[in-house]
Amino acid sequence: MSTDRPRQKRATIIDVAREAGVSRGTVSRVINGERYVSAESQSAIEAAIAKVGYLPNTAARNLVMQRTLAVAFVVHEPASLFAEDPNIGAIMLGANATLSDADYQMVLLIVDSERDTQRVSRYLSGGFVDGVIIVSARAYDPITRVVEKIGLPAAFVGHPPDLPQIPFVGIDNRSSARSITERLIATGRSRIGMIAAALDRDSGADRLAGFRDALGDRFDENLVESVPLYEFSAGVSAMQELLKREPDIDGVFAASDAVAAGAMNALRAAGRSIPRDVGIVGFDDSTWALRTKPTLSTVHQPAQGLGEAAAASILGQLRGEPPQLGGILLETPVVWRGSA
């Protein structure tokens, strides 16, 4: 006989039933607010619940109900993410808001290592969630494969490279980049360069393609400098490089606001006035855009809307509606401010 701390066993539906002098079926009905319970039973059970301190075990309920009212939100590569990418937070919040309205619990899972990948895969197939939202999926991701295998309703934010026909939400990076570049051209700049970033992701590659589209014959690859990540510091160094190579540059499209902010620092350090000497535009319309001086002209990325749309897609699938396989592209208005 052990004398370890008895660790207070949690009250179950049976304890409530015993206390109230009814069967567990009746208790279950009260808990789930069903009809056909006498007033006496009702109050006896409510009293018993309070007395024994009963709290329902949702996990057990889920097992029999075969649904969890929970949706996972999987985030990859977060190390720099939250610091440098203000979008991801907004996407999360958007998804959470929509799921919350439908009374679904969003559970966020972070994938930061090989081990995490394994564990998260197990979690997704383990019966804890009814669906999953995945942001920044990589090509041939084990998580994606598990999701496919078990047919878990899924929605991707951004288009995973290797999957042609899956539900996703995103923006048209290419045409957005083209639009803002055209706007920049319209301001009369003649030597327009670009700081491209993250060319290994389709967002990065597409933004460069859009830039190229807009410039047409006037495209000059000497005016393009590319950096690996959407980072402030990368913007600084790339702009320095560009200035050295092409001192007469008078317009810049930076692949993200953070990059643009860095570039603006470098421009100012080089004695160039913005927008007089050089006009600059960014991409994202994140908090960066309002912190620069002058404020940044940029492409508005509807981050919260992406989260909401992804959540709505999941919710629709759970209602049995066929997902929109082609994907959903959200509008990205150009926001014109002081930097160009």
Partner DNA sequence: ATGAAAGCGCTAACAA
Partner DNA sequence: TTGTTAGCGCTTTCAT
- State the binding partner of 237 from DNA, a second copy, none, CB within 5 to 8 A by kind: none
One-character DSSP codes across 166-180 = --EEEE-HHHHHHHH
Of residues 13 and 92, the one with the C-beta less far from DNA: 13
CB of 90 to DNA, least distance (A): 35
Of residues 40 and 277, the one with the C-beta less far from DNA: 40
Stretch that binds DNA, among 49-57, 128-136, 246-254, 328-336 (CB under 7 A): 49-57
- Note if the bond before 294 is cis, omega within 30 degrees: yes
Contacting positions for a second copy (CB under 8 A):
7-8, 10, 53, 55-60, 62-63, 68, 70, 78-79, 81-84, 86, 88-90, 92-93, 96-97, 100-101, 103, 105-110, 112-113, 115-116, 119-120, 122-123, 125-128, 146, 149-151, 232, 265, 286-287, 291, 293
207 is a contact residue toward DNA (CB under 7 A) = no
29 is a contact residue toward DNA (CB under 7 A) = yes
Stretch that binds DNA, among 23-31, 165-173, 217-225, 299-307 (CB under 7 A): 23-31
Residues with Cβ within 8 Å of residue 25, at least 6 apart in sequence:
none
207: left (phi over 0), alpha (psi -120 to 50) or beta: alpha
Return the residues of window 65-84 that contact DNA according to CB under 7 A.
Answer: 65-66
Do the beta carbons of residue 143 and residue 136 sit within 8 Å? Answer: no
108 is a contact residue toward DNA (CB under 7 A) = no
Q: Which amino acid is at 312?
A: A
CB of 142 to DNA, least distance (A): 19
111-140 burial: b if 16+ Cβ within 10 Å, else e:
beeeebbeebbebbeeebbbbbbbbbbbee
Of residues 36 and 244, the one with the C-beta less far from DNA: 36
Place of tokens 């499209």: 253
Residues with Cβ within 8 Å of residue 11, at least 6 apart in sequence:
52, 53, 54, 55
* The two structure tokens encoding residue 74: 């999987």
- State the binding partner of 225 from a second copy, DNA, none, CB within 5 to 8 A by kind: none
Q: How many residues does the chain have?
A: 340
- State the binding partner of 218 from DNA, a second copy, none, CB within 5 to 8 A by kind: none
**Ramachandran angles phi, psi of 322, nearest 5°:** -70, 135
Chain residues binding DNA by CB under 7 A are 9-10, 12-14, 21-26, 28-29, 31-32, 35-38, 40-41, 54, 56-57, 60-61, 63-66
